[in-house]
Structure formats: C-alpha cells, structure tokens
Structure 1
Amino acid sequence: MNADILTSVLVGLAILVGCLGIILPVLPGSILIAIGVLVWAIVIGGPMAWIIFAVVAVFVAGGMSASLVLTGRKLKEMAVPNRSVLLAGVLGIIGFFVIPVVGLPIGFIAGLYLAEHTRLHDAKEAWASSWGSLKAIGIGTAIEFVLALLAAITFGIGNLIHFLG
C-alpha cells in the first residue's frame, strides 16, 4: 500500500472522527478535519491538493465562525452569562465519565439548568433560558456540522480527482 492510499484512508478516518467530534464535543472536530486535510495535501502534493485544502479550510473556518458567532449572539441576546455555559460544559464532561457517551448531553443540560436556576431563582425562567440556550447551541452546532460535511465531500472529490484523474 503506497503512502497516498494510506494517508487518504487515515485522513478519511480523521474526518469521520472530526464530524463526530462536532456532534459530541469531546474533540475539536473542525480543527481535526483541517489538520487531517493539511497532512493529506502535504503528502499528496501538487496544486490540486492545495486547492482542496484551501476549500476545506474555508468550510471549516466558516463553520467554526458561524457556530461561535450565532451561538454567542443568541446567548448575549438572552443575557445568558458565560459562566452558565462554562458550568454546563464542566458538568457535561463529568457526566461523560459518569455515564459514558449519553452523560455528556445529560450533564450539559443539567449544568445549564442549575446555573440558570441559581442565577434567576425561578424554575420556569431558568428552564426557558436553558431551552433557548440549547436551541442556540444546537443551531450553531448544526451549521458547523453541515460545513464539516461539505469539507468531507470536498476531500472525497479531491481523492477521486487524485486517484482517478
């Protein structure tokens, strides 16, 4: 098996893990995708590989930016402080280890609700704020995931061009 094939397979796996890392944020998914395709472009070489990397980098940067900007803007509109999201993240990570895989979203939701309940002192308002925050985070994640899939498709097209062209 030559280096081109091995690199393409390993980078394809890295892209798969990266896409999963966007949905279950244990790994920095978009960054993993970009680094994987950068390695692929270095190994494959040539203008086509670098064009593919540039397109992938644009998709990845767009996805990360859209996710951060849209989520941040919505959370700011709702006056949800960063510490609530930080506490949710910490409890999500703890939940991941207590209840593997499903503990991450359970811990995140519980942490967000607890932080908002502590801040607002009203269960109904805390749930409304938490639900709005979860929707904002979900929309940002969905946009980042769609752009990561476009990056994966671009990588696939690059492989088709390289191996069949």
Structure 2
Amino acid sequence: MGVWQLLLVGLVMALGLVGAVVPGVPGRWLVWAALLWWSLAERTGVAWVLLVAATVLLLVDQVVVWLLPSEGGRGGGMTRRIAPWAGFGAVAGFLLLPVVGAVPGFVGGVYVAERRRLGGHGRAAAATRAVMREGGTGALVELLACLLVAAAWLVVVVKG
C-alpha cells in the first residue's frame, strides 16, 4: 500500500474518531471501513487478525453502548459545543496515559466546555454529570473503542 493510500486510510480513521463523539456520525463504522480497506490492500496475516479483533471489539462496543442506561439515548448529552472539547481531552489523555487516560481526558474536556459556558465550578460539575448521564458515557465508550482500533492500526503500520 502506497503512502497516499495509507494517508487516506488514516484520514478516514480520524474522521471516524471525530464521528465517535459527534451525534449522528457513524464513527465506529468509519474506523472499521478504513481498517477493512487497509486489510484488503495489505492481505497479510497481521492485517486479517487486526481486522477480526477490531470487528469483535467494535461489535462488543456497540452492545455495551446499547446496554448503558441513558436518559437521552446515544449522544443525547453530547452537543456540537461539547464534542470538540471532549474529543480533544480524550485523545490527549489517551496519548499521555495510553488507554486509561482517555476516560479522565474525556470527562475533563466535558467539564472545560461546561465551565466555559456556565462560569462556576459547582454548576459546571453538575452539568458534566448530567452530560455523562444523558449519553456522554456512550460517546466515551465508542470513542475509546475507536481509539484502540486506530492505535493498533498505527502501531502495525509503523512497525511494518
């Protein structure tokens, strides 16, 4: 697979990561489609194992999101105002403290967005809890699964 095609696959995965936190965009399916594209082009054992593992992870992720108690449904608490902050926080946390750092980063991003909107700590903390109850947790679970798939793909591509 050429460099340009790898960049396009990475771009589709990045779009999927954005879609994981933006309501109405099929994030996990964009990440999976990019991985499928890469696997079909590579045709190696590692590519197929990664595709199967990612498929299982993303299916389990979808079931978990469906089973989460949510007052507002998937993405109900995530607005277009909060999504960039939450996504940036999760990615930064994921990079600083691999895997587990995405959780406090996501919640911290939601808090920062609400703090900017509401001004005070108490009201921002209450709004953050409300966002997480109303669908933010589902967005976090989906983003974490997509980050794991994208990171695994990136490690395989870099290691060659």
TM-score when normalising by structure 2: 0.60
Hey, what does 2:3 align to over in structure 1? 5
- Equivalent position of 1:45 in the other structure: 43
1:147 maps to 145
Match of 2:4, as an amino acid? Answer: L
Q: Is the 8 A contact 1:63 1:148 kept in 2?
A: no
Q: Distance in 1 between matches of 2:82 and 2:157?
A: 37
Rounded Cα–Cα distance in structure 2 between residues aligned with 1:161 and 1:51? 15
Shift of 1:39: 0.6
Tell me if the contact between 2:17 and 2:143 (Cα under 8 Å) persists in the aligned partners. yes
Larger Rg: 1
How many equivalent residue pairs? Answer: 116
For 1:52, give the aligned amino acid.
L
Identity %: 20
**Length-normalised TM-score, structure 1:** 0.58
- Provide the secondary structure at the position in 2 that maps to 1:27: coil
Please identify which structure carries the higher helix content. Answer: 1
Contact 2:73 2:135 in 1 (8 A): no
Check the 8 A contact 2:21/2:139 in 1, yes or no: yes
**Match runs of 1:89-108 below 5 Å:** 101-102=80-81
Q: Which residue of 1 aligns with 2:32?
A: 34
